[in-house]
A and B are shown apart, each in its own frame.
Chain A
Amino acid sequence: MGILEVKNVSKRFGGLKALSDVNLSVRENTVHAIIGPNGAGKSTLLNCLIGKLIPDTGSVMFDGQSVLGRKPHEINQMGISRVFQTPEIFSDLTVFENVMIPCFAKRDGAFRMHAIGKTSGESDIIEQAERMLIDVNMQDKRHVQASSLSRGDKRRLEMAMCLSQQPKLLLLDEPTAGMARADTNNTIDLLKEIKAKRDITMAIIEHDMHVVFSLAERITVLAQGTPLVEETPENIKGHPKVREAYLGEAQV
């Protein structure tokens, strides 16, 4: 039984069948990669997990509870955080405030009215946020406005924000898209470090096979809305179905 169980999920957009009968099981404390050609339905699947889309049929269970019909913030409070393809951060706020907000969300829940106390008086939150910034090596940029960060730093910041919530499951949507090779390697190292430091399950959508094969313990290949195979990285490389999906080769 995995921490995330997706059963028979289908999703249609008008006449387009984006997902049909997807089954996926992500085991606790593993890094699970979901790969597939463009239009395979990877992002749709992710959106169904975080409450952005509601699947037409099927069930999504996380940690023994269904996530369907819950609002995004409720799903997040259950322990699922997501890193987006283009970093979603609070760009008008400083780096430090960006990290403080998820710390508050973790401590106080979805809403708490503390309108009179000072932000700078919340010592436990400040301490937590500071530790997180050190973890991702951004402590020297704490007073910088987030919009002026480089793309790589925005990504790191978004990851720090997600990790501040101590999620059980971290969803990563192409975490290295548009990055230079050096930045990609930094991100791989960062993710490995995160994985080594804490109990966390990760599901990664990725195009870059270098990233996939350096991180993933299980790989699911998705094509045209259906999962083709689920295997370990060693077995996936030469898999005939995968070759067919990517290269259009006839099956031998």
Chain B
Amino acid sequence: MHGTKAKDTTLLIVVAFMTMFAPFLLNPFPAGSELAQFNAGYPDLMQRFVIFGIFAIGFNILFGLTGYLSFGHAAFLGVGSYSAVWMFKLLSMNVIPAIVLSVVVAGLFALVIGFVSLRRSGIYFSILTLAFAQMSFNLAYSVLTPITNGETGLQLSLDDPRILDGGGPATSLPVTNLFGWEMRESTTIHAGAWSFDLSVGYYLSAIIMLACFYLSIRIFRSPFGMMLRAVKSNQQRMNYTGLNSRPYTLAAFVISGMYAGLAGGLLASMDPLAGAERMQWTASGEVVLMTILGGAGTLIGPVLGAGFIKYFENIFSKINEGVLHGWFAVMPDGIEDLLVAIVYPFVGKGWHLTLGLLFMLVVIFLPGGLVEGGQRMGRFAFRRRDRKAGPVESSAAEKRAASSKPAE
């Protein structure tokens, strides 16, 4: 058991390092070079990485531990966003009250939906959550227009009351801030041909994500986390062991709903507008994809999955025909056109196709997601190195491989 503790600490340190230095790590190519378009180190995208990371971490607490597959988690994300924007309109442009309210409202919302949906399990549970989310989406889109501003989306306006900031006659829209630090403020560091953006908004989101990640490690290793895994493993035995599985699943559902609300609140804090499309079923499906792609039930998997999908969505989709022609320019004309014609459907607007294929490959060959892929590669590398080292150490390598398997 001490082994898992040390491993968790290492994992937390690695993730902390990666998020704190992400602006540098994600900008490996010099600005202005041909490869610069693969740089992901700009604030807007990095914020998405960590915010959707939070969303997926929360989703994993429900799906990864209890096995209950919710298809309606985007509803909580949307509710969080609306709550946050209302807080900006009514109270203050400070992000703290907005984030707190979004978590609370999403938690209450999850309590109601969870209470009803968790009466069923399996596919019926998934359908119920999907139905609730679509209901919320449609309400936000039409009936609740006074609250949600319908299809235009909820935005800030010049005549908002903002009790604490004292609205007043402003000439331009105010900016979200944390006690004076504006979220969109950023410093650019130039180092030779490279340039790196350090933004306040990103670092706030990243620190919150680290806190969420730490909390999820604690939940995974707690007696409560063990009970949630027991729900997934054998609910019948659990009930015949004197445990009531319903409050356990409801607690997990509410916690993951609060994570989603937090993510929604952060999205609104970075860019204060909220639209109904954030609640649509495609958004709910996306978080399912993230979690499964990264590795459901593992600690780091959902974060990897979120980063992977957001990178694809924002970077891969930018590769257009012109860029492809640039790549294959060395080829003779006919072959160049042929190659472009072959590759084109998979990039640019066709990025979904590549993602879909990747998803299929992962589900078929790596049921444990990208995390399992990483473990297999690690084991392969260890084995090869140890084989060279001689027979004595190879048994140690097997032991290491065996012990690394159940952990993540």
Contacts and interface: CB of A to CB of B under 8 A. Distances in A.
A88 B223 CA distance: 20
A238 B247 CA distance: 53
Interface in A91-138: 91-94, 97, 100-102, 104-106, 109-120, 122, 125
Given A113-B224, A117-B223, A71 B244 contact: yes
B10 interface: no
A75 to B, nearest CB: 9
A120 B238 CA distance: 20
A165 B241 contact: yes
Interface in B229-274: 229-230, 232-234, 236-244, 247-248, 251, 255
Contacts of A165: 241-242
B240 A76 contact: yes
Interface string B294-325: 00000000000000000000000000000000
Given A90-B230, A90-B233, A92-B229, A50 B223 contact: no
Contacts of B229: 90, 92-93, 97
A116 B244 contact: no
A69 to B, nearest CB: 15
B242 A77 contact: yes
A104 B223 contact: yes
B275 interface: no
A113 to B, nearest CB: 6
B404 to A, nearest CB: 14
A30 B95 CA distance: 67
A111 B244 CA distance: 6
A10 interface: no
B241 A76 contact: yes
Contacts of B234: 88-91
A119 B242 contact: no
B243 A89 contact: no
B242 A71 contact: no
B237 A89 contact: yes
Nearest to B215: A116
A115 B222 contact: yes
Contact of A71 (B224, B232, B239): B239
A44 interface: no
Interface residues on A, range: 35 or more
B381 to A, nearest CB: 25
A204 interface: no
Contacts of A91: 233-234
B226 to A, nearest CB: 6
Interface in A216-231: none
Nearest to A147: B233
B32 interface: no
A187 to B, nearest CB: 19
B119 to A, nearest CB: 14
Q: Which of B229, B238, B240, B406 has the most CB of A within 10 A?
A: B240
Q: Which of B1, B5, B223 has the most CB of A within 10 A?
A: B223
Contacts, number: 109
B222 A117 contact: yes
Given A113-B224, A122-B223, A105 B243 contact: yes
A161 interface: yes
A82 interface: yes
A81 B240 contact: yes
Interface of B is mostly: helix
B227 interface: yes
A97 B241 CA distance: 13
A237 interface: no
B225 interface: yes
Nearest to A87: B237
A89 B251 CA distance: 23
Contacts of A105: 241-243
Contacts of B219: 115-116
B218 interface: yes
Contact of B240 (A50, A104, A125): A50
A105 B245 CA distance: 11
Contacts of A117: 222-223
Nearest to B222: A115
B407 to A, nearest CB: 11
Given A91-B233, A91-B234, A114 B224 contact: yes
A73 interface: yes
A145 interface: yes
Given A71-B239, A81-B240, A102-B242, A93 B223 contact: no
Contacts of B406: 94, 145
A110 B218 contact: no
A111 B224 CA distance: 9
Given A76-B240, A102-B241, A115 B233 contact: no
A45 to B, nearest CB: 16
A118 B5 CA distance: 10
Contact of B223 (A82, A89, A119): A119
A72 B240 contact: yes
B105 to A, nearest CB: 21
Given A101-B226, A111-B247, A116 B239 contact: no
B225 A120 contact: no
B384 interface: no
Interface in A42-75: 50, 71-73
Given A81-B241, A111-B247, 18 more contacts: A72-B239, A72-B240, A73-B244, A88-B237, A97-B229, A102-B241, A105-B241, A105-B242, A110-B244, A113-B251, A115-B255, A116-B219, A118-B5, A118-B218, A118-B221, A119-B1, A122-B223, A165-B242
Interface of A: 50, 71-73, 76-77, 81-82, 88-94, 97, 100-102, 104-106, 109-120, 122, 125, 145, 161, 165
Among all A-B residue pairs, the 10 with the closest Cβ atoms: A76-B242, A110-B244, A115-B224, A90-B233, A92-B233, A88-B237, A111-B247, A105-B242, A120-B1, A72-B239
5 contacts: A71-B244, A100-B226, A102-B241, A110-B242, A120-B2
